[in-house]
Every structure is written in C-alpha cells, then in structure tokens.
Amino acid sequence: MTQGQIRQMIMQITRGNLRYCTPNDPICMERVAERKHKGEEGYTIQSAEEVLDDIICDLTALQDELRIESSFQSAQL
C-alpha cells in the first residue's frame, strides 16, 4: 500500500466515524425522532468520546494490517 493510499484510509476511517457524533450529519439527523432536535448538539448516535474510541480501535487495526503486509513483503525478499 502506498503512502497516499494509507493517508486515504486514515481520512476515510476518521471521517466515517466522526459522522456518528456530528449532529447535522444526515446519518444522525435520520435517527432523531423529534424534528425540533434535528441537528442540535447532544442529539447524535454516539458521543465524541465513543467515536474517539472507535477511531483509535480502527486505526490500530489498520496499523496491524500494515505491519502484517510489510512483514509478508519482507519475507518475499
């Protein structure tokens, strides 16, 4: 995987997770039942802390995947 591809993956992971704690993101607005609360702070699927945990977990998994890939490439030399 190239450096550019890794950067893209990091951005996709981060942006994808941030959607769940962004009040005005369509994914959260669809879940809010009362129209008056749509897009308001506090009406999200996850808290920012929960999303941070998910981002860390997902980035750690990516890091592990990259280490495995690198290990396989080194073994083929």
pLDDT recorded at residue 77: 61
Nearest residue to 20 (alpha-carbon basis) of 7, 11, 29: 29
Secondary structure of 12-68 in HEC code, one letter for each residue? HHHHHHHHHHCCCCHHHHCCCCCHHHCCCCCCCCCCHHHHHHHHHHHHHHHHHHHHH
Cα(32)–Cα(19) distance, rounded to whole angstroms?
A: 14
Could you tell me the pTM of the whole model? 0.83
44-71 residue pLDDT tens: 999 999 999 999 999 999 999 999 988 8
Residue 66 near residue 58 (C-beta atoms within 8 A): no
| Structural domain containing residue 19 | 3-76
Domain count, the chain: 1
